[in-house]
Amino acid sequence: MSDVNTIKGLWKTLYPDHSVELLEKFFEQHTPLSGVSDANDWYKEATVYALYVDLFNTDFQGLIQKLDYLHDLGISCLWLLPILDSPMRDAGFDIRNYDMIRHDLLGLPTTATKEDQAIVFKHFLEEAHHRDIKVIFDVAINHTSDENPWFLESKKTTPNKYSDFYIWRDEPNEYLDARLLFKGIEDSNWEKLGERYYFHRFFSFQPDLNYRNPEVLLSMTKNLLYWQQMGADGFRADAIPYLWKENHTSCENLDKTHVIVKFFRAVLDYIKPGTLLLAEACQKPTEVVKYLGDGDECHAAYHFPLMPMMFKAIAQQNATPIRHTLSSEVTPEIRESNQWMTFLRVHDELSLELVYVSEEDRHYIHSNYCHDPKWDFRVGEGISARLSELMKRNPDKIALSYSLMLTITGTPVVYYGDEFGKLNDENYYQEQIQFTGKDDTRFLVRGRIDWQQVEKDLSQSENFHAVVFNFIHGMLNARKNHPAFGRGKTTFLDVCDANGILSEHILAYYRTTVDERLLIINNLSDREIKIKNPVADEDLAIIFPKGMRVEDPDNTIVLEPFGFVWLLLLD
């Protein structure tokens, strides 16, 4: 539980030359919610489903109609990709108004008031919560749209309250050591407007906020509190490493960026404990864990390096990339209250940034999975393709990849449509190029769901989409009955083949808590493998098998190509 003194201390660290009077006035308007219980770590046992409301099923009413489908799938938390008011030049990450949802998502006319919006959104939250589904959504805290009212005022030559909300210079001669994040799309971090330049780390139409101005910090905090009090269960803090800028640095992961994150967390905890703050920090684990702080920054963070290493392990048919990535050499221990988020695909590219992969790994993964030159993103730094396309529409490899993602560590994130093998959407890609004026290949991995076609596909048992769905539906529902998948410690196990030779093709690990022991065995290879049963002397139950059988009398486990099994060890 946070207190005002903690928050004031963070304020003084950020703004030693500013009075706390501004902060005190802020707290006169924002007081703790009554009747709120202490925080809990619900996110540790969650299964997250990421979706665009409009692309998934038109609007919030359409999403409500699919909540039973999601609940039946085994989902317990929705991550709503950008829903706030936006010109939609970057899929909603270019936010125009932080206290409004896009009218089209609500089924409301553009003349609808904030009160009208609140009624619709609260109804959706109630329907989701009624099904025990939490709801979090994206907030881009580093930058806004160039159509944001703050920016429209800031760019005026006449000084006003918002003049210093963004980073303006007469010449683009500062922050030159900040890397270009959108290489191949943007050619500079500075954009000229009139006689001045403004700084941006992402698209040129997304100016960075100036957190050296305390009004910016309070304005963003106010926006988070607005949605928290409406009932949102958490926020994905987009582009979190870039908040604070200092000249002659990379402008990433700076100390005061962490102080800003601590401030957000402290205020959210003070008003209503238990609101998830999820870090989107595309960095090495040694840097990412810093955004968890001492339990006083974000609750959870994505494990970005693990994602490409799962793809590498499957391509190499070798367990080493995953085991090495999750070793203490690469991934530090995190506090009991914190959590990793694991994923195979999300709305972005299969990221291969040199921040957390080597040049050798990047080349290897790119050459093994970029099956179409069109999928290339940022000149070799990523691959824009759906999971089913990356795996060449092979249901066995898709199922294996999900076995890894769902069991190896942390809280899993399912990307909408992947549960039935949604393909790249060429039509949507071309449509968005015309709309945005940017050739952003990530639009390939988005696209709308045609539920009428999906239902037709799923009704045909031999259909590719039905086969994938049946595998993933089964795994998701098996997983939710075993808390150790979300809370357990991961311990790798060396496994020998039937000839007693250590097998590099088998990735096996225990997931253990005080109350539960699980053993997962995955065959990463494209051939059948016989292994000695590593728990032959223990009683066990099969949780989920695919391509697995036991041969008597020697109790040998046989795993078909890309086969796997999840086991519960009984006391």
Q: Which residues are catalytic?
A: 238, 280
Residue 225 phi/psi, 5-degree rounding, is -65, -35
Q: Where are the alpha helices (DSSP H) in 248-386?
A: 255-271, 285-288, 306-316, 320-325, 359-369
In 30-173, DSSP assigns E strands to: 48-51, 77-80, 84-85, 97-101, 134-140, 168-169
DSSP state of 37: P
| Gyration radius (Cα) of the chain, Å | 24
Distance of CA 41 to the CA centre of its chain: 17
Closest to 128 measured CA to CA, from 81, 164, 79: 79
Contacts of 480 (CB under 8 A, 6+ apart): 45, 47, 74, 76
CA 522 – CA 514 distance, rounded (Å): 24
Closest to 454 measured CA to CA, from 500, 420, 481: 420
CB contact at 8 A, 150 and 162 = yes
AA identity, residue 143:
H
Q: Are strands 196-199 and 234-238 parallel, antiparallel or unpaired?
A: unpaired
149 token code pair: 């009212």
CA 172 – CA 200 distance, rounded (Å): 11
CB contact at 8 A, 517 and 484 = yes
CB contact at 8 A, 411 and 47 = yes
**Can you tell me which residue has the tokens 């560590």?**
409
Q: ∠ CA(244), CA(196), CA(166), 5° rounding?
A: 30
437 token code pair: 């004026």
CA 85 – CA 94 distance, rounded (Å): 9
CA 170 – CA 155 distance, rounded (Å): 13
CA 288 – CA 325 distance, rounded (Å): 14
